[in-house]
Amino acid sequence: MQCLRYVRRIWASRHLSTLGATEMMYYLSQPWLQLLGTLVYPIPLLLLGHRAASAPGEVWAWFTDGAWVLFAVYGLFGLLPFLIWGPVYRMRCAPSIGWGRAIGYGFAYAIYIYTFYITSWRAVVRLARGRNGWAKTRRNTERITGDVALDH
């Protein structure tokens, strides 16, 4: 998130192709898009919940008349890119694991990816508070042999 200041230098660099610079922009935009997603994606579900509380029969009729397809597509686009990782990993790296475990890996990866929604908000709070240090995480089991980086 702190690297957005390098956007102009990335685009001006003669060492990067347009495709390379575009890829960097994609990765630099991800935390910001995740923040946007945490604000935008829940809105339809909150509106649906409100409507279901006030008119449950109408919502049920709407859902059974075909609206369930919207939820299937929503779930498909929200999970499928991550779920396919498990079977791809099985085919390329670990053919000895079963398909069930590979699909389980895909679900675990999806859950892991969704933790970035939490960490993106944490990063924004750190930026807002002026805490932008990159100190290494200290592990309690490590012996301290030298200077310790401090997070300011």
- Please report, for residues 53, 60, 74, the alpha-carbon distance to residue 69 in angstroms, rounded to integers and kept in the order given: 21, 13, 8
pLDDT of the residue at 148:
63
pLDDT in the model for residue 53: 97
φ and ψ of 61, to 5 deg: -65, -45
Within the chain, which residues score under 50 in pLDDT? none
H or E, element range at 104: helix 99-128
Q: What is the pLDDT of residue 98?
A: 94
State the pTM of this model.
Answer: 0.62
- Of 75, 81, 77, 83, which Cα lies nearest the Cα of 106? 83
The reported pLDDT for the residue numbered 137 is 63
Q: What is the pLDDT of residue 74?
A: 83
